[in-house]
Amino acid sequence: TKLQLVSYHKWIGITLLLLVVLRLFWRLTHTPPALPDALPRWQKTASGAVHHGLYLLLVAVPLSGWLMSSAKGIQTVWFGLLPLPDLLNKNKELGDFLGYVHESLNDLLLLLVAVHIAAALKHRFIDHDEILSRMLPARKQL
């Protein structure tokens, strides 16, 4: 049913939010390998901007969904077991606006994911450098 799909959607969103917060703590204590010196400055800048944007949106998208649910008066229950607190009082107009914000941020997130994938493939198949290997566990050579 539609209600069950919405529940799954919320479970996934809250789980992703928790995982991203853990990942951010990990990044604070574990520095990623430096980008190659030969990489043009604009690509280093773009890489940083895309990565920061991805992290920001990976927090903002599920948070905006939780805010929207709260404003619409629909409680979020994580995995059907843990009721999460409402972050806002019920307000239909605000809930509708936050629904628009949630969808718009999600669209932007999908765009950045596509840019990230395209850049990784460009480095692998056009530039033939090792940028893609940096993303893989144990930095396996491709």
Statement: residue 134 has pLDDT above 90:
no
- The CA-based dihedral angle spanning residues 70, 75, 81, 87, taken in that order and rounded to the nearest 10 degrees: 20
Statement: residue 110 has pLDDT above 80:
yes
CA distance 35 to 24: 19
For residue 66, how many other CB atoms are within 10 A of its CB?
22
For 3-55, write each residue's pLDDT tens digit: 899 999 999 999 999 999 999 999 999 888 888 899 999 999 999 999 999 99
- Residue 133: predicted pLDDT: 81
- Residue 138: predicted pLDDT: 66
Q: For residue 83, report the phi and psi dihedrals to the nearest 5 degrees.
A: -70, 125
Which of the four pLDDT bands, split at 50, 70 and 90, describes residue 74? very high
Number of domains in the chain: 1
Statement: residue 142 has pLDDT above 90:
no
CA distance 23 to 57: 14
Which one-letter amino acid corresponds to residue 69?
Answer: S
* Across 111-133, average pLDDT: 92
CA distance 93 to 57: 23
Q: 91, 22 in Cβ contact below 8 A?
A: no
CA distance 77 to 1: 17
Which of the four pLDDT bands, split at 50, 70 and 90, describes residue 105? very high
**pTM for the structure as a whole:** 0.90
Q: Give the structural domain span for 108.
A: 2-139
